[in-house]
Structure 1
Amino acid sequence: MGVTMLSRIQFALTVGFHFVFVPLSIGLILFTAIMETLYVRTGDPKYKTLTKFWGRLFTINFLLGVVTGVAMEFQFGTNWSRYSEFMGDIFGSPLAVEALMAFFLESTMLGIWIFGWNKLSKKMHLLAGWLVAIGTHLSAVWIIVANGFMQNPVGYVLRNNRAELVNFWEVLFNPYAWYTYVHTIFACYSVGAFFVLAVAAYHLLRRRNVDMMKASLRIATVFAIIATLGNAITGHFNGQNVALRQPTKFAAMEGVWEGGQGVGFPLFAIPDSANERNAVEVGVIPGLTSFMAFNSTDAHVPGLKDFPVDERPPVGLTFWSFRVMVGLGVLMLVLAALAWWHNRKGTLMERTTLLKFLLWSIPIPYIATNLGWMVAEVGRQPWTVYGLITTADSVSPVALADVVISLGLVVIFYAILVGLDIYLLVRYAKAGPEAMDERQAAVAD
């Protein structure tokens, strides 16, 4: 492996580790804000306890996630200096706004939210919580706007071998970014919802905190159904956007080698990149791929053979990442619907197998969201900025040994942070909200 491939692996691991923290933060803070809203509206102390319980888990995850995000940005200078030189004028703007607007908002309001329970009125404290939630959503906006330019460059001119910003608003309202943003936010909601479902299932299986966990699960099942259905709907429109603006990625996602009109959709296929075909195709539905791409069964869909070999993404990885992501999305929808139904019928406590499935479902949305980003980023190859600069031309001119050392350090550093995050989340999730009530009573005494 050369410098380019090792740098790609390092950045992929960095982003993958960072994305362990991000979706849970976005999904869990919204759930926490909903719980506090119920407390303010009803005055029921149960919701106050749940707000503090889920808020503590959010805070642990958020604080450790900040560290991973800072470390990730260093790589633009260490491993990808040529990329930074080429489009730093554009890439730096949304990242700067993200720090000044979104991160300062969420971090400041989080401090007020944590320490303001006995100092602010109920409504002002609730406002602080919702501002934290808004801040996390705004952070995602600016990060994805920056990524959206890499996927669909707009609002720039090429000058002195650099992409220079000429229209900030065109970059901000890049349609590729907003299709991706909405789809990603629903994915984050799925992570948050299934985290709550898993923790609630753990306590219900042990008949602990039953009343509070039933309340959490009731909201989380609705949250999960909305998120998974939202993912399916926005994923369809996101796919159409890909077909329009990145036809090579779409062809790799769907395993389309021969372009043409009325392209069919195989229910099962195995791509064979060496021979530029699908080695296996089962149950081809005529015209369905064309319809999914352009709302017409007769629409023309370019195939991978329509593009030079060196401009095609890794087909197998893109294809299977997309297929497994969709399959996991369907599984999450089924689990959420079953949990909602049995909870509504009052039979969930007797469905121990379903509760165990929910308990062990925590990795599913994490895997699905990371596979989605793998489709987005691997499917864009060989380009760092689509159509403008390749990955090979973006890497820093550094020695192979330096990248090997930094890759090892990154793996160790992130493994420690993720391990710490998992340990703390498991510890406090298992302790449950009753432990918080006991500590508060001890302090009062």
Structure 2
Amino acid sequence: MLLDRAGHASVITHLGDEGLAQLKTREFDLVITDLRLPDASGLDIVAAVKALHPETQVILMTSFSSVESAIEALRRGANDYVIKPFDNDDFVFSVERALSERRTRKENAALRRNLKKVFTQHTIIGESDGVKRLLAMIQRVAATDANVLIQGESGCGKELVAQAIHFGGSRAQRPFVAVNCGAIPAELIESELFGHEKGAYTGASSASEGLIREASGGTLFLDEVSEMPLAAQVKLLRVLQERQVRPLGSNQSFLTDTRFLAASNRNLKESAERGSFRADLYYRLNVIAIHVPPLRERGADIELLARHFMHQFCRKFASPVTRMHKDFVEFLHHHSWPGNVRELQNVIERAVILADSDVLTLSDLEEMIATPARDGVAVIAPKGSDLPLSIEDYTKEIITQYQDRYGEAELAALLGIGRKALWVRRRHWDLYRTSESA
């Protein structure tokens, strides 16, 4: 048979019902059917095939006088048609083209599945109960188009959660647009989000569609949404309600199919109650709430993440480091990690760069300044310290160790605090320089 000679395995049936019975027991890449069968119409066969296996390709064979029926078959889901009598080479070409499209669709489906795995199993790393609950929630939420509010401390991975939701859902092939609402000047945020017409304001030399329309069909991630000015909150609420956006300076509104994910390191419910954030917008965004646990509550995940970052930066910097000393690991477990995963990543990167052997040790952290804590005090790891790694204890320890080596301005800068704050702490703890106590 022609298809066998072309290298394709085939199953032949002479009746429509026989062919459909085969399709109910297995899936085929391609179905070729005549328009006229002894027991059925080819148009009905096309519809039945697509109902059973939407991804299966269908080619309809018809005579020249039935071209209108062939066009109808295309409307019902057929991928191609050939007119009898046909040239064998042309027929084989049509078959090859249909099979190629089938392979492409399979590959794209596999890529989407792999992309989902990447963002849920690899990018969000952890085995703690908190992370397991987080991943389960992401999987459930990704299958919907609901608005989601992601809350958690700075540096805990809220944007990774937003990416996992987007790439794990039906919008994975569409844009994922992230914007930090706190990083855009108040006078520009409306233009950035909603777009503007040329000349809408001073400096608007050309029109812009805005980030909401740019993300249409996909997802817009509003990071630090609590920092959005109230005037912009009103306009965002209207977009969420009406699914339309009107650029600045325009009298025309545009439909938008955008999913909204928002994140904040503040308690938005409390902000809404205080009036610093619109309550109606809070409830619109908070259809589903996701809490990202801080690193200090994730137990063994700390070492797991540290090893991941170590291998990542070893590859990046061609470092000889292969492992972490047990004291180094113990330090990681006892530290409070006010800067969460971002702080841990920075600590490991610096340690890998400064390491002078194949083992990360506490000496690689001796002058490591971590992300500033919430009260503005930086945390430094003292070599060989057995103290609990709290912020205050570390501050006290570092003042003791370095106050005779640095001036007031240098020591304050090292700690990430002001000179007055340093003076207050030294007096509170009765810490004096050698020259002062003499």
TM-score (ref. length: structure 1) = 0.21
Of Structure 1 and Structure 2, the greater helix share is in 1
The structure with the largest alpha-carbon Rg is 2
Larger RCO: 1 or 2 (CA < 8 Å, sep 6+)? 1
TM-score by length of 2: 0.22
